Structure 1
């Protein structure tokens, strides 16, 4: 005589599956952790009073507005939103920067279309160096 442990039928060894989750231990652990943090948090606070000296550093000024040069695919040049020419690029940049900003330390941002000819781009770069603008940043599209 053999016992039937699996398969169909309602035998005396058949077990039903229990799909319920017992959350009582989880709640107990969370309550213990809550109590521990409630007790430990006030002990972690600094209770020693110290007379701190005042900060004497002047607040930093807002950075100046960046200057952009845009190069279109057909070779047209723009300083900010204003059209420019390769021969007047240095003067136009100085006019946009103003008197208070130092052109040798100023960073110029170049935006160029992906279809711009390399010669047009290098002409702008050479003209910037000829006019004393040595800090140049290239702007690309974020992906």
Structure 2
């Protein structure tokens, strides 16, 4: 009678299968998590944004719709939420991302309403012409 010899190798095929399934899930889910409001920023020779606190980002898309932190809001909701955020955490910077195809008047209206609501340091986000990085200019 022959004794069977114990196999001392680990079968890695099931682990590879699980890894590939997870890879596909992350490849599909990652763009959904990072996608925000589609805004084509104008290009300028500005410096990259460096802030200690996360800024409030107000976006105006090409159709003139206003978003706060990638969520659509009306102008009254925008002002109320910005004022509440600044009351909760003083010194929070407000940056406006205006699509290059957006109506210039709409972007200026948003900035003027923010300043009328007490936000004196509104910045404009642009895209660096040479690196594609996001920069800000204070207004």
**TM-score, structure 1 length as denominator?**
0.50
Instruction: Please list, as runs of the form range in 1=range in 2, the aligned pairs for 1:61-76 lying within 5 A after superposition.
Output: 63-76=52-65
Q: Does residue 129 of structure 1 match 2:115?
A: yes
How far apart are the structure 2 equivalents of 1:142 and 1:82? 25
Equivalences, count: 79
Give deviations 1:73-101, integer Å, cap 9, x for gaps: 11100011111112322112234x26531
How far apart are the structure 1 equivalents of 2:70 and 2:112? 21
Runs of 4+ displaced beyond 4 Å: none
Q: Secondary structure at the match of 1:75?
A: coil
CA RMSD of aligned residues (A): 1.9
2:101 aligns with one of 115, 118, 123: 115
Query: 1:131: Cα distance to partner?
Result: 0.6
Q: Considering Cα pairs closer than 8 Å and 6+ residues apart, tell me whether 1 or 2 has the greater RCO.
A: 2
Aligned to 1:79: 68
1:100 aligns with one of 79, 88, 92: 88
**Which ranges in structure 1 are unaligned for 5 or more consecutive residues?**
1-61
Aligned to 1:139: 125
**Which ranges in structure 2 are unaligned for 5 or more consecutive residues?**
1-50, 130-139
C-alpha contact (below 8 Å) 2:57/2:95 kept by paired residues: yes
How far apart are the structure 2 equivalents of 1:98 and 1:129? 13
Query: 1:112: Cα distance to partner?
Result: 0.7
C-alpha contact (below 8 Å) 1:71/1:116 kept by paired residues: yes
**TM-score, structure 2 length as denominator?**
0.51
How far apart are the structure 1 equivalents of 2:108 and 2:76? 14
